[in-house]
C-alpha cells in the first residue's frame, strides 16, 4: 500500500515569491535532508496517510493549485505516482525545494531555496533551473558571493532575497542592503524582495 508521511494539508494563499496571493492547497511532507538553524517547520511530527486518504483530503478544498512542500518534498519516493494522479485531476502543481535533489518533470513550477549554511553541498549537485529562486539572507561576509554562485548554477525566471526571521526579528536592513549591491551590476538578473507575507497577514 502506498503511504505518505504528512505533516499537514491545508488551503491558504501563497505568501512568498512571484506567486504571492495565489490560492493553493499546501501538502507538507515530513523529513528534510538539511537542518537549517532558523527553520520554522516542524517536519518531524507527521501522520501516515494512504494514497486514497491523501486524495480525499485534497479534494475537500476548492483551490486548483497545489504547493508541494516540506521539509524537503523530493525525499518522498512515491511522489511521482501522486503527481501523476494530481495532474490527471487538472491541478497546477508547484514545489518548494532546497534544490539538492532532482525535481520530477511533472511539476509545473519550481521554487528553489538554496541554503547558505550548506554551501558545499551545492558544489556536488543542485538542480540546473527553476522558475524562481528565493534565498533566505544570513548575516555573513560570504553571503553575497553565495548569491552570485547560485545565480550562476541555477537559471531562474525570478530571483528573490527573503529576510531571515530569528527570535521574532527580521534582518530587513541587511537584506535590502544586499539587494542594492546585487542590483548595481549592469546586465545581470534583477533580485527582488520577498517577504513572508503570510506571517504579516496572520494566515497559515
Ligand atoms: S531546507 Fe527548509 S525545511 Fe529543511 S531545515 Fe532548511 S528551512 Fe527547514
Catalytic residue among 20, 32, 51, 165: 32
45: left (phi over 0), alpha (psi -120 to 50) or beta: beta
Distance 73 CA to ligand 1 centre (A): 10
User: What is the predicted pLDDT for the residue at 138?
Assistant: 95
Is the distance from the beta carbon of residue 70 to the nearest atom of ligand 1 less than 6 Å? yes
β-bridge mates for residue 47, sequence order:
6
203 touches ligand 1 (CB under 6 Å): no
The CB density around residue 194, as the number of other CB atoms within 10 Å, is 24
The protein residue with its alpha carbon nearest to ligand 1, atom 2, reads 71
The interaxial angle of helices 51-59 and 79-88, nearest 10 deg, is: 40
37 Cα–ligand 1 center, Å: 9
DSSP 143: H
Task: Give the per-residue pLDDT at 96.
Answer: 98
Residue 84 falls in the annotated catalytic set: no
Does residue 198 have an active-site annotation?
A: yes
- Do the beta carbons of residue 16 and residue 194 sit within 8 Å? yes
Q: Is 160 a catalytic residue?
A: no
Which residue's alpha carbon is nearest to atom 6 within ligand 1?
36
Give the pLDDT mean for 133-138.
97
Residue 204 has pLDDT above 90, yes or no: no
pLDDT higher for 204 or 134?
A: 134
Give the pLDDT confidence score for residue 139 in this predicted structure.
93
Give the per-residue pLDDT at 191: 98
Q: Confidence band (pLDDT; 50, 70, 90) for 57? A: very high
Whole-number Å distance between alpha carbons of 86 and 45: 24
Judge if the beta carbon of residue 115 lies within 6 A of ligand 1: yes
pLDDT beyond 90 at 14: yes
pTM greater than the 0.95 cutoff: yes
Amino acid at each position: 500500500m502506498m503511504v505518505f508521511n504528512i505533516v499537514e494539508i491545508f488551503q491558504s494563499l501563497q505568501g512568498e515569491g512571484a506567486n504571492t496571493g495565489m490560492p493553493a492547497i499546501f501538502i507538507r511532507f515530513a523529513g528534510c535532508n538539511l537542518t537549517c538553524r532558523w527553520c520554522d517547520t516542524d517536519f518531524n511530527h507527521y501522520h501516515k496517510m494512504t494514497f486514497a486518504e491523501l486524495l480525499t483530503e485534497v479534494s475537500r478544498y476548492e483551490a486548483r493549485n497545489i504547493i508541494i512542500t516540506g521539509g524537503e518534498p523530493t525525499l518522498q519516493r512515491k511522489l511521482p505516482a501522486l503527481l501523476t494522479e494530481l495532474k490527471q485531476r487538472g491541478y497546477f502543481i508547484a514545489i518548494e525545494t532546497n534544490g539538492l535533489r532532482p525535481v520530477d518533470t511533472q511539476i509545473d513550477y519550481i521554487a528553489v531555496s538554496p541554503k547558505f549554511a550548506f554551501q558545499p553541498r551545492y558544489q556536488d549537485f543542485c538542480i540546473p533551473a527553476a522558475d524562481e529562486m528565493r534565498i533566505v539572507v544570513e548575516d555573513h561576509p560570504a553571503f553575497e558571493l553565495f548569491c552570485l554562485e547560485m545565480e550562476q548554477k541555477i537559471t531562474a525566471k525570478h530571483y528573490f532575497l527573503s529576510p531571515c526571521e530569528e527570535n521574532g526579528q527580521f534582518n530587513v536592513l541587511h537584506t535590502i542592503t544586499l539587494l542594492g549591491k546585487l542590483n548595481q551590476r549592469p546586465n545581470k538578473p534583477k533580485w527582488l524582495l520577498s517577504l513572508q507575507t503570510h506571517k504579516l497577514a496572520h494566515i497559515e
